[in-house]
Structure 1
């Protein structure tokens, strides 16, 4: 009996990007990849090196003037506890952006129970809140 040789597979390997500096090169060649870092994390300016005649001591201001690509938890609908515009825990949990939705109700924030006990604005991925889902 003759077996048919595989002509290929629709499955592709998953690329996990660990270094921010490789991001631009990978974006040009890959449709989808996993980031092993948060692209919205601020960087430590002390780790930057400044050199050259046009950079005087004390003149170390950095400004980001352009950004490409989209970030899922900022630019697409997302549960409130994953919002990058209003980080959970460091901003009031009742605050939300236009793309936040209630983790419990799956409705746009604010839902009917957003600030009432138990306040859905505090919902996150935990056993307690999972048990509250309909």
Structure 2
């Protein structure tokens, strides 16, 4: 007759103060993702989230800022885009591409590269070195450093 052994694994030691191990949820349905994204830091998808995209629910939006070629159209996107949906320097904006739109243009998520403030800053369209032209080059990197250095001096006085 075979002997049965009771094996146990210590996951957390009582002498150490650490967070306890939590179970990781495995989602089976696409409909549950949104709910778990709000409450869980980590979960496993037991399906391919990109399978069976229902294009019947998609609509083509007439984008007046679209300067692209008519040969290709984006009909869907999944998730968020960093240079559109999150704060970004003006020269990285997707809504108003830096090389094809006036630099004075900005979206609601643009900020001034030099000042690190919401666009437009008070120097956005000044006559000499307008901040809307800042593109992350060495020159503008120096301007950014100067601005922050001068700001730090003002705060200490």
> Is the partner of 1:129 in helix, strand or coil?
helix
Counterparts of 1:114 and 1:89 in 2: how far apart (Å)?
A: 17
Partner of 2:59: none
Larger Rg: 2
Once the two structures are TM-superposed, the CA of residue 90 in structure 1 deviates from its matched residue by 0.3
Name the structure where helix makes up a greater proportion of residues. 2
The structure-2 alpha-carbon separation of the partners of 1:84 and 1:113, relative to structure 1 and needing over 3 Å to count, comes to same
Q: Which has the higher contact order (CA 8 A, sep 6+)?
A: 1
TM-score (norm 1): 0.53
Partner of 1:127: 138
Over residues 17-51 of structure 1, what are the superposed CA-to-partner deviations in whole Å (9 max), with x where a residue is unaligned? xxxxxx947xxxxxxxxxxxxxxxx78848xxxxx
The structure-2 alpha-carbon separation of the partners of 1:113 and 1:63, relative to structure 1 and needing over 3 Å to count, comes to closer
| Alignment length (residue pairs) | 81
Structure 1 gaps of 5+ residues are 1-22, 26-41, 47-61
Partner of 2:26: none
> Is the partner of 1:98 in helix, strand or coil?
coil
Partner of 2:117: 107
Structure 2 gaps of 5+ residues are 1-48, 52-67, 149-157
Q: For residues 1-134 of structure 1, what are the structure 2 equivalents within 5 Å?
A: 24=50, 45=71, 64=75, 66-116=76-126, 117-133=128-144, 134=148
Partner of 1:49: none
TM-score (norm 2): 0.46
Once the two structures are TM-superposed, the CA of residue 71 in structure 1 deviates from its matched residue by 0.6
Counterparts of 1:107 and 1:99 in 2: how far apart (Å)?
A: 11
